[in-house]
Structure 1
Amino acid sequence: MSDFPPNCVAFVTGAASGIGLAVAQRLVADGVKNIAIVDITHERLLPAVSSLAAIDPSATVLQIGADCSQEAEVEAAVSKTVETFGRLDVCFNAAGMSGDIKPMAEQSSSNLDNVLGLNLKGVWYCQRAQIKQMLKQEMRDVTTGLKLQTRGSIINVGSLTSHLAINNINPYIISKHGVLGLTRADAMDYAEKGIRINCICPGWITTGMTQHMWKDGVMIFGDVAGRAPMKRWGLPEEVAYTVSFLASDRASFVTGTAIDIDGGLAAAAS
């Protein structure tokens, strides 16, 4: 039995690669039949569409090119999803960027604007549009058989830097602290409306975004994976398993929280 209802509609940003792609693939593998995948261009999503079709040929995949730092494009992406599928149930907001790696005294205001524009304002735009749509929908029974109802689930991507700082990525740290605050604030405001909002905080995960941490085969920040008790990098697929649970009705009493997916790094740092 699927953890998701038959007419479930998912909406995933940053879906062309990394954690966003892994989550889209896991949601389809776990029974989501209708999914909108969003990334900066339509073309970047073509390999993702093929991979989702290979997992479940019966799933309907809507690909949307949109810049999540632009309010109008976010609104249009959510509207297109609802026009196509009729509703919105599960949202995963993963679109993001790392920005320049420099000490604060060398950072530019344009880099600050770009990082906050996508990582924080972009999540705000997405979450607002998603909540507005979910509020229009009738409550539905949860799939677990419990006498509960829901309107939907939203998961945002924070970071280990939602809790702590690392060197030379000041704007990124600001943005990820903000995502955690945004998650908690809206979770409080909309819990009684049947909308759950949570945040995942990945540690060192092998994605395209972390490639910037290597130069000539050497880690710029040293052996970061060695600081975690598991002493290895995580995989996007490992993050996706947790996201699928949070998105599903099995997590019906979980909202306003941040889940660390970091091999124990947060525990070691505390």
Structure 2
Amino acid sequence: MSDFHPETVALITGAASGIGLAIANRLLSDGITNLSLLDLPSPSLSALPEALTKNFPAARILALPTDVSQERDISSAISLTVAEFHRIDLSVHAAGIGGHGMVMDETSAMEKMVAVNLMGVWLCESMVVKQMLLQEERSLTTGLPYKTRGSIVNIGSLCGLSAARPAGATYVMTKHGVVGMTKADARDYGPKGIRINCICPGWIKTGMTAGLDTSGFTDQIISRVPLARWGASEEVAYLASFLLSDKASFITGSSYTVDGGLSVTV
């Protein structure tokens, strides 16, 4: 039996690369065929429907250019998703930006990171929850006698749980905010049948971290990881698929590290 209803609809932000793309591929592999994929306009995003349906011919893929820092973009993407698929059952908020930022830095740099990493997650979650509340509850695929309206996974960071990094005040602030929002919203919407969890990756190989993959950085940071290597986006995706599925039906408001054990060394 599949972990997901055959008509399940999943929405993913930051879906054109990195962790978001890995989660899209994982959900397709796990049997979901209706995907709405959001990211900034790019050739990579435009190519997603054709690229993904080569391996998953039954899939229906929407690729929607979306700036998650813009409320009108998110509203449009949600509307187009519902118009095409009639519902949203799962939502993953993986869009984010990195960079440095200290409390004395220019306000504009701070505002951009907050707009994408924190407000972008808040806007997406707000609109997805509103849509889920319009939908009927469904029985669990596990056969347990409970109901669900949907599941949300926010992608945070190890920086949202543990010690701050140098020159990273703004980034750390946004990721702590995502963890806090996850807890608060899980409490508010759990009684309505909506589960909300957060994944906090450590050092994962993505386009965002590509410039850090140097011998010097590895010596300083990765050498402290008990598993002694970088993580892969696919390793985050496995956990995301589980948390989204009905196998995680009693899990909500939690934040999980995927960090090779780095958090136990801090």
Give the TM-score normalised by the residue count of structure 2: 0.96
- Quick one: which amino acid aligns to residue 160 of structure 2? S
Matched, 1:178 2:152: no
* Contact 1:225–1:233 (CA under 8 A) maintained in structure 2: yes
Candidates 117, 121, 139, aligned match of 1:119: 117
Candidates 236, 242, 260, aligned match of 1:245: 242
- 1:208 aligned partner: 207
* Contact 2:101–2:109 (CA under 8 A) maintained in structure 1: no
- Quick one: which amino acid aligns to residue 140 of structure 1? R
Instruction: Measure, in 1, the Cα distance between the counterparts of 2:113 and 2:48.
Output: 25
- Quick one: which amino acid aligns to residue 184 of structure 2? A
Instruction: Measure, in 1, the Cα distance between the counterparts of 2:264 and 2:217.
Output: 23
- 2:139 aligned partner: 141
TM-superposition CA deviations, 1:18-68 (whole Å, max 9, x none): 000000010011000100000011533134333321331101001100100
Look up the SS of the partner of 1:230 in the other structure.
Answer: coil
* Contact 1:20–1:94 (CA under 8 A) maintained in structure 2: yes
- Quick one: which amino acid aligns to residue 128 of structure 2? Q
CA RMSD of aligned residues (A): 1.4
- 2:232 aligned partner: 235
- 1:16 aligned partner: 16
Instruction: Measure, in 2, the Cα distance between the counterparts of 1:17 and 1:198.
Output: 21
Look up the SS of the partner of 2:36 in the other structure.
Answer: strand
- 1:26 aligned partner: 26
Instruction: Measure, in 2, the Cα distance between the counterparts of 1:135 and 1:157.
Output: 22
- 2:58 aligned partner: 58
- Quick one: which amino acid aligns to residue 240 of structure 2? V
- 1:35 aligned partner: 35
- Quick one: which amino acid aligns to residue 171 of structure 1? T
- 1:68 aligned partner: 68
Instruction: Measure, in 1, the Cα distance between the counterparts of 2:51 and 2:103.
Output: 40
* Contact 1:228–1:264 (CA under 8 A) maintained in structure 2: yes
Look up the SS of the partner of 1:255 in the other structure.
Answer: coil
Structure 2 unaligned segments of length 5 or more: list them. none
Instruction: Measure, in 1, the Cα distance between the counterparts of 2:171 and 2:216.
Output: 19
| Change over 3 Å in CA distance of 1:219–1:137 after alignment to 2 | farther
Give the TM-score normalised by the residue count of structure 1: 0.94
| Change over 3 Å in CA distance of 1:220–1:32 after alignment to 2 | same
Offset of residue 81 of structure 1 = 0.4
- Quick one: which amino acid aligns to residue 12 of structure 1? I
Offset of residue 221 of structure 1 = 8.1
* Contact 2:204–2:232 (CA under 8 A) maintained in structure 1: yes
- 2:194 aligned partner: 195
Instruction: Measure, in 2, the Cα distance between the counterparts of 1:44 and 1:187.
Output: 33
Offset of residue 223 of structure 1 = 2.6
Q: Which moved more, 1:165-174 or 1:79-88?
A: 165-174
Structure 1 unaligned segments of length 5 or more: list them. none
TM-superposition CA deviations, 1:202-259 (whole Å, max 9, x none): 0000001112435xx4545853111121111000001100000000000000000001
Number of equivalent positions: 265
Look up the SS of the partner of 2:252 in the other structure.
Answer: coil
Instruction: Measure, in 1, the Cα distance between the counterparts of 2:204 and 2:148.
Output: 31
- 2:256 aligned partner: 259
Instruction: Measure, in 2, the Cα distance between the counterparts of 1:198 and 1:204.
Output: 20
Instruction: Measure, in 2, the Cα distance between the counterparts of 1:69 and 1:211.
Output: 24
- 1:44 aligned partner: 44
Instruction: Measure, in 2, the Cα distance between the counterparts of 1:242 and 1:195.
Output: 18
